[in-house]
Each structure stands twice: as C-alpha cells, then as structure tokens.
Structure 1
Amino acid sequence: MQLAKQLEVEVEVLHVIDPRVVHGVTSRYSDSQTIAAGSKLSHREIIEREKYHVAKELDELLCQETSRLNFPIKLKQTIEENEILKKVLEELNRDTSSLLLINKAVDNMIFGSQSELVETCQSYEGVALVVPPNYCFQRMTNVLMPAAFGNLSVQKQQFVADWILKMAPVINIAEDDKRRVDEGARVSMESLFYALSVNYQEFHSGDFEEEYLDYAKMLEPDILFVEKQRPGLVASLVKKGLLEKAFEQADVPIACF
C-alpha cells in the first residue's frame, strides 16, 4: 500500500486458493450455515469456506492499511481457486504493464517450494517484485542493478524507470568485465536515469553472480534487480541460478526483470 501511494497507482490484491493444497477434511464446527460437525466437507464446500474466511481477513487487513495511508487508493480484491503459475501464464501475461508484487514466503499455500516461486517469476513476462515476509516498507533511496538491464526492450526499461524516478534513488549499476553491454545499452540507461545519481561498479573476479550478491550484502540496497535468465538444462542440474541464490541470500525486495 505504501508503495502504491508513492507511485500513485491502482492496486489489485490477488489471493489464489490452490486446489492442490485443500482437500476434503472433517468439519470441526457447525452452525446454521454449514453441515453438521463431524461430517465430510466436499471440495467445493472447502473452497467456498476458504474464500469466505480469506475475504473476511483481507477486508480487515486492507481496511487497517488504507486507514493508515490517509491517501485515496483505488483498490480491487480478487479471491479465486487457481494455481499461481497457471494464473500468470494464462491471464497475467496478457498485460504485463503491472508490477507483480509477490511475497517470498514458501508456505505451502501459494508456493509449495522455492523452485515454484522461481518458475513463477521467470514465467511472468513483466517485472515481478519479490518481497521478504514481514518486510516494512521504506522509501527507495538506493538501487542495485546489473548492466544487463540495458539489454531489455525500450518499453520494459521505460516501465521500470517510470516508477524508480518517482522515488529518486541513487542507481548503482554493476557490470561484468567479461560480458560488457554494448555502448548503446549504456547510453540508454544513462538517458533513462538522467535525473538521478548513477554509479558504476565493474567486477573482475570471473564469477559475476557471486560477486554481485556479495556486493549487494555490502551495499544493502532498498531494491536488488536480478535478471530472470533461465540457466541451461545441464547448468541447472549442477548449480543454482542467480535468481534462486538471490532469494536465499538477499533480505531486501528483489525486482526480477
């Protein structure tokens, strides 16, 4: 909510009830609206019960959060039975002009494993911002991104620049001396962030991913940008990709591009 206030954007809160998670269980309570205690709930009854309780909890939470803002925000709430990855592939990718905000928690409700979280972020064709559980919003003053950001399409670069410029942070750009971006990409980034202070850091260790994450720990940026590049099949069998390592090691919001 605080981020939406800073960016002056609309918010849609999406809660997906994964049918793989909820199964028929025995009801532990009874009232005039439900079947008798001790009887078996059907799948549909469980889903509807979940929707009811989630909607109630979300209403209470969102009312508290919006009242703290003292700022008018257009808010939409969606609760549905679906799988998050399926939702991304079939619906969210139709319009990738939204910033997809995801809780990093692997709680066996939305995400059953970290690999599922990684795959969801990689499958979203827009920018996903993955936030640690219980993270307290703070105004963005310091951003770290790889120079590979300059290889994105102009449209995607502009989308990111639009919300970064509203917070006016210092931009720190890290470049691998063995995989330099071309001059056009560098000029493009400098043009995008012309109004901001931009620092360049060149890495020479030969292991860009490790040095990038080590530098992030030292710098402690408010947002860490990580490329969603999928490792090859063989590479994925012997080592973790940068995105997965970032989720494990970084305690700050991660913008996956």
Structure 2
Amino acid sequence: MNDFQPYSYTDSVTADRPWLASLVGVQDTNTITLDLSKFVAGTHYTVSANPLLQGRTVMKSGIPLGRVTASGLYAPYAGTTSEVQTVTVTGTPTGGTYTLTFSGQTTAGIPYNATAAQVKSALEALSNINPGDVATGGGPHPGTAVTVTFGGQYSGDNVAQMTASATNLTGGTSPAVAVATTTGGGAAAASDGTEVLHGFLVSEISFNPGSTKAAGALLWHGEIFAAQLPIPLDPANVTAVAPGVSIHYR
C-alpha cells in the first residue's frame, strides 16, 4: 500500500474550518507531507469505525504544525510545556476533606478519598479556572497521587504552585497533603524542530489507517480564532515562529 495519500480539500468553511477568521490568505498555502506517526488518535484525528475502509480516518483541520528538522516532515507543533503538579495525601486518613488554593482562590472541601475527576471539578469551580483549564489523572486518594495538568488559558504557562490545607482530614497518622511541581510550565516542549510554529493544517485529510505519511496544505498567512482550534493554543506562548509565517489571532 502506498504511504502517500492524495490531498483531500473541503470547501465548506463552517463545517471544516470554524477556526478560520478570514478567507483572506487561504490561498497562501504550501503543500506539505505529514508524519502520521507523530499524530495521536482521538486528539488529532478521528479513527474510522471500520479500519478496512480507505479514506475514513480523518485528520482534523486547524492543527498547529511544526517541521521535524531531521526528516523535513510536518508534525504537531510542540510549543511550550504545560505545567504538571502532583497532589499527594499522606498519613492514611480515613475521613474528612482537604482544600487546594490556586492564585488566591481556595476550593471547597475535597474528600480524603477523592478521584481525579473530583479534584478536577473542585478546581474548575474556582473563579480563576475555567472548564478545560485543568486535566487530572491518577488517584484515587489517599493511596495514589492525583496529577493536575494546566491547559486552556494556562497552556504553556509557568503557573503558581498550588498550596494545600489538610486541617479537616481525620483518622490515620498525622494526615497531610503535599503539592509538588513535577513539570514546570513554559519551557520548550521539544528540540526536534516542532517547537517552532510553521502554520496550521488548512483542511481535513482522509488517510488509510496503515499509512505513515499524508499530503496536506499548510496555512502560513492569515487570521484565525485561537479558541476554535482543535488543539489548545495560547498565542501568547508562541515564542518561535518559522521565517515568513504571518498568523494573526482573534
């Protein structure tokens, strides 16, 4: 099977490209080749329900792209690293709650045996954290730490470390809550060339599930709605842009 797939262009702006703020500049595109091994199912493309059917696996339009220096192929823009903090409950409490404070805002009580989803809900109830600003993993407490990854408006930012209060935890032996920054935000997320923004994938692309490469078009001049992109991108965190690229954000 040929690795290369024909470029599939979709004319419908509203259905395929809600992130595109202006038609001006759409003609200023370059034909590029994507390294499909760098893209993630569910995040960057929709997997066909029947992998035997050609053209039913669809790469989303509007994906920010960087260029892999070694191969010259295009892959997801790595940008800056999003901060990851870890919340750990110690002392084997058997009841009660704890709180987390982020930039002056304190959560309601979080159960001693909270799941990652409960920690996420508590944080997103704060006035300075919007839905989608944090993603959580791990848990449940107290046996397993919960990780908090900052995204949305905090994507790629070096955010303040949360603090915790274990005053209302009960049982166990000296129960406590510790917060640690395991990945500091703001640093370059890659060093293979994809840390430099080259542009955005103009339109959806259909490709065979077993393919390693696919052809597409790169938008390097134009206006976009950053909030409508399929992959979260904070324009303020784009510190490295390829020569000639002119993208304006709304």
Report the TM-score range of the alignment, normalised by the length of the smaller protein. under 0.3
Name whichever structure is richer in helix by fraction.
Answer: 1
Say which structure, 1 or 2, has more relative contact order (CA 8 Å, 6+ apart): 2
Q: Which has the higher strand share?
A: 2
TM-score by length of 1: 0.22
